[in-house]
Chains A and B, each alone.
Chain A
Amino acid sequence: MIPIELVLGFAALLFCTGLYGMMTTNKALVALMCVELMLNSANINFIAFAAYNVFADATIGNIFVLMSIAIAAAEVAVGLALILNVYKIKGTSSTDDLTTMRW
């Protein structure tokens, strides 16, 4: 069996990738994709801990992941709709230009 450290390390790498992309990109779509990456790294952690758990029933972790994926789907739907609309109105989806709501 693969040691849990490897799985967790992979999840952490995935999270950091998403985070790095989030902090550096100016494209709204890329930012959304990075959010998905981070969310999925968290899902991997759930799965990992559920699979390696020897003391209790593993189903709870799996159910939680299913729930999380459903929410992520909904979130993406909303996020994409927003970006599309912004693009229609402003002609751009670059986050550097979308600053009208600040001070």
Chain B
Amino acid sequence: MFMEYAWLIPILPIACFVIVGLFGKKLHEGGGFVAIAGAAIACIFSVLVAYDFITNGVDGIFGAPFVTEMKWLVFPGSDFVINFGVYIDGLTCIMLIFSSFISTMIFVYSIGYMGDQGEKKPRYYGEVSLFLTGMLGLIVSSNFLQMFIFWEIMGLCSYLLIGFWSFDHPEAKQKSSAAKKAFLVTRAGDVCLMAGLFIVLYLFGSLDYANIFNAVAIEAIAATNPELLTVAGLLIFGGVIGKSAQFPLHDWLPDAMAGPTTVSALIHAATMVKAGVYLTARAMPLYVFNSVNGEAVLLFIGIIGGFTAIYAASMALNNFNIKKVLAYSTLSQLGYMILALGAGGFLMAHGYNTGEEHLVALGVLGYMAGIFHMLNHAFFKGLLFLCSGAVIHATGTEDMKQMGGLFSKLKVTAVTMLLGSLSIAGFPLFSGFWSKDLVLEAALHAGTHGMTGFTVLFVMGMITAFMTAFYMFRMWFMTFVGDYRGTEHVHHESKIMSAPLVVLSIFAVISGFVIFIGFGNLIADMLQESMGFFWIEIESGMDIAISIFTNIWTYVSIVLALSGIGIAYLMYMKKSVDPAKFNKNGESAYYKLLTKRYYFPELYDQISWKLGYGIARIVDAFDRNVIDGTVNGLSGAVIGGGDVVSQMETGHVRDYATFVIAGVVVLILVFAFIFIGGI
């Protein structure tokens, strides 16, 4: 009974966008409370829709998708129709709830954090509301085209918000170039996605989820046209690489820290990068039922995810910018999610192709792990970013070398950030612990049951877990313990900023327990009923917990996480181990490589300079010389010719008479030649 009105969910924030955009200057706090109200109502509505979906099902079938559509574009003479509608299943419910909830928290926090922005406030609240519209609209979309529209709205808003300070700000130039980078790099992925959607449209004759996620249809196409289906899957994943900042299009995300910290929190926790993971999860049937190349594509997805996880984590190890450390950790955690989806999908595909049902069950577990990690990550990363924002707000710097000893001054922030760090590090019973172990388990199973490549990715994931624990606690110790190294006066924390931190920290700690209340069943029902998967069986939450605690690797990962925390403790709190010994005072080649971010920004620059600028110059030269030359030459010839010919006009009547007579004589001669000569 609420699901029929689910289309209202994205309407609410966009209404706020309009209100704040038009009247923001007259509203209290630049329309901040309107934005909060919009997000909060959207959140309540999302919960109601999810409750309705989970308790009632659709027509009595639990997990079946709820679809309402209206015709948007009808092409006369063909039965092809583009719809605009709402598609609700388990994944939609999960995404709706956490996106709107975390956005609400971030908006509340923004009242404190952006309080000193004056005239810029309406712009901020308008843009974040539109951003939320993009995410919620993308989640409830019922077809790929509609999803793509909201996908691009988010791309636009990320550009606007990352470049929020690109004027009237001392570092405006650097901010605006970061915004441009984010926009252009994600654009590279978006072009891939659009090409992928064209192929999907060609193959299926429709972009509606309800028509595409059909095992029979996909298998029929895989039998007749496997190459195109594979290319479509890869291109769609290309969009994910751009949006979710996977290697090699990852480099925009660290630079995106140029925006306000609340925007970073929004991009990393609630929206934007989560859209890529969502799309991978959503498009999973296209990979799994592609019996010819599906396993290879899923292995590729897993490799991209696993590699991004360890690669990004390594860059967080020696960074001194508190926001950049968190940005790299987001990249790394997104890698985990993609790895889990790749491994889970691989197991499912392998199980279908070989007929081994227990592999499908393991695959579903891996798939669930990816979404589960996304949910947990949303809470703890949102929390961590808001905490870092509180620290930056108090000290006026992002450089951790200027911090230290803030525990006594920022008690709430310190404690909540500690909880967030424990979650992301995978400390037992905290949320990150559950999902990370499930992710790693999925990679391990994929390795042992099919493709040994996944075993390598599993080992990389383990190492990443260690590195995550180390850099998070390095950050925490550097920020909150020891002596204060900065010069600025430390401001006190305000209540409006602390309250969201406390709420989020509670969720960051307990969100892992959702697997005990039917999270797995929600995903499994969705896969079975919405996406046409079969042979689904999911273990209950308790069984999952038992399998986690009876798995030897769980203890290995716990030990790794604890040792990471321990090493960080020794290095940055007790100072009994000097980090300078390992990096030769910042002179070692690897340390430099990390500070240069593996020369990737330079590579981007080189590509854009050498390739982009080179092509632009060639085109420019062509334009100036060939096209302009032709046009100018033609006009010059006409003008010059006209000048020359006009000299014949003497203005003397007798000359004109001469010309006329000469013309008549010539005509007579010609006619005489034709008629008389012809005879």
Contacts and interface: CB of A to CB of B under 8 A. Distances in A.
A24 B652 CA distance: 11
Interface string A36-67: 00000000000000000000000000000000
A76 interface: no
Contacts of B76: none
B164 to A, nearest CB: 62
A101 to B, nearest CB: 7
Contact of A102 (B650, B654, B661): B650
A31 B656 CA distance: 12
B333 to A, nearest CB: 79
A22 B654 contact: yes
B657 A99 contact: no
Nearest to B643: A103
B55 interface: no
Nearest to A28: B653
A73 interface: no
A23 B651 contact: no
A100 B661 CA distance: 24
A22 B657 CA distance: 7
Given A19-B661, A23-B661, A103 B654 contact: no
B661 A96 contact: no
A85 interface: no
A23 B649 CA distance: 15
Contacts of B654: 22-26, 31, 95
Contacts of A22: 653-654, 657
Contact of A101 (B651, B657, B658): B651
Interface in B633-679: 646-647, 649-654, 657-658, 661
B646 A23 contact: no
Nearest to A95: B653
Contacts of B653: 22, 28, 31, 95
A99 B646 contact: no
A94 to B, nearest CB: 10
A80 B650 CA distance: 23
A103 B646 contact: yes
A98 interface: yes
A101 B647 CA distance: 13
B495 to A, nearest CB: 85
Nearest to A19: B661
A6 to B, nearest CB: 22
B contacts with A: majority SS: helix
B196 to A, nearest CB: 64
Contact of B651 (A19, A24, A28, A99): A99
Contact of B652 (A19, A96, A100, A103): A96
B645 to A, nearest CB: 10
A99 B650 contact: yes
Interface string A15-30: 0000100111110100
B661 A99 contact: no
A26 B646 CA distance: 21
B482 to A, nearest CB: 90
Contacts of B649: 102-103
A64 B661 CA distance: 24
B657 to A, nearest CB: 5
Contacts of B651: 98-102
A23 B651 CA distance: 13
Interface string A62-103: 000000000000000000000000000000000110111111
Contacts of A31: 653-654
Nearest to A22: B657
B652 A23 contact: no
A22 to B, nearest CB: 5
Contacts of B652: 26, 95-96, 99
Nearest to B642: A103
Contacts of B658: 23
Contacts of B650: 99, 102
A98 B655 CA distance: 13
Contacts of A101: 651
Nearest to B654: A23
Contacts of A96: 652
Name, among B646, B647, B652, the residue most crowded by chain A CB atoms within 10 Å (CB to CB): B652
A98 B650 CA distance: 10
Contacts of A25: 654
A34 to B, nearest CB: 9
Contacts of A28: 653
Contacts of A98: 651
A31 to B, nearest CB: 6
A69 to B, nearest CB: 22
A26 B654 CA distance: 7
A102 B654 CA distance: 14
Nearest to A100: B651
A101 B654 CA distance: 15
Name, among A95, A98, A103, the residue most crowded by chain B CB atoms within 10 Å (CB to CB): A103
Nearest to B649: A102
Name, among B646, B650, B653, B658, the residue most crowded by chain A CB atoms within 10 Å (CB to CB): B653
Nearest to A96: B652
A82 B651 CA distance: 17
B672 to A, nearest CB: 16
Contacts of B646: 103
Contacts of A26: 652, 654
A25 B646 CA distance: 23
A31 B661 CA distance: 15
Name, among B646, B647, B657, B658, the residue most crowded by chain A CB atoms within 10 Å (CB to CB): B657
A50 B650 CA distance: 41
B116 to A, nearest CB: 71
Contacts of A99: 650-652
A95 B655 CA distance: 11
Name, among A26, A31, A95, the residue most crowded by chain B CB atoms within 10 Å (CB to CB): A95
Contacts of B647: 103
Interface of B: 646-647, 649-654, 657-658, 661
Interface of A: 19, 22-26, 28, 31, 95-96, 98-103
Given A19-B657, A22-B657, A96-B652, 15 more contacts: A19-B661, A22-B653, A22-B654, A23-B657, A23-B661, A24-B654, A31-B654, A95-B654, A98-B651, A99-B652, A100-B651, A101-B651, A102-B649, A102-B650, A103-B649
11 contacts: A19-B657, A19-B661, A22-B657, A23-B654, A23-B657, A25-B654, A31-B653, A31-B654, A95-B652, A95-B653, A100-B651
Lowest 9 CB-CB distances: which A-B pairs, in order? A99-B651, A102-B651, A103-B646, A95-B653, A22-B657, A102-B649, A23-B654, A23-B657, A23-B658
